Amino acid sequence: MEKFKVRKETKFVFAVQVGVETFFLRAQAIQDPYSGMSSHGNFIPVRIEDYKFELVKEDKCTLFNNATELVKMVIEDRLLKSRFDSLLAKNELSIEDVALQEICGENVSIHPNALRHLV
């Protein structure tokens, strides 16, 4: 498995088992291109207009600071376009199939045997 170099703080990765393969979650918030800017002295607040979720190999996955980050993304995504639920449904999975691994240290292996179920 791929070795990850992370800082000393703990990070989390999320994964699902599809058949005999383990895929890891890559998540991205797509921000309104004009949010966070100021226009004529008025600040436009940061606004997320969509989310993108993919199942990828371990070297391309998103490292989360805590499990709450993913939960917040999923809740906000459900208010927008439910892309996370669509990704799971497309692969015949549910939220109960999502597992996580806590990683911390210099050389960390992400391995399916170390995954714990989220729900």
pLDDT at 18: 83
41: phi then psi, degrees, rounded to nearest 5: 85, -5
Return the number of other C-beta atoms located less than 10 Å from residue 45's C-beta: 7
Tell me the pLDDT tens digit for each residue of 57-105.
Answer: 888 889 898 888 988 999 999 999 999 999 999 999 988 888 888 877 6
Tens of pLDDT, residue by residue over 13-64, are 898 888 888 899 999 998 877 766 766 767 767 778 899 999 998 888 898 9
**What is residue 3's predicted lDDT score, i.e. its pLDDT?**
59
pTM score, whole prediction? 0.75
Cα–chain center distance at 98 = 11
Q: How many whole angstroms separate alpha carbon 75 and alpha carbon 45?
A: 20
Binned at pLDDT 50, 70 and 90, residue 110 comes out as low
What pLDDT does 22 receive? 87
Domain that holds residue 64: 3-117
Res 42: pLDDT: 72
User: What's the pLDDT at 89?
Assistant: 94
Q: How far apart are CA 22 and CA 81, in angstroms?
A: 25
For the chain, the domain total comes to 1
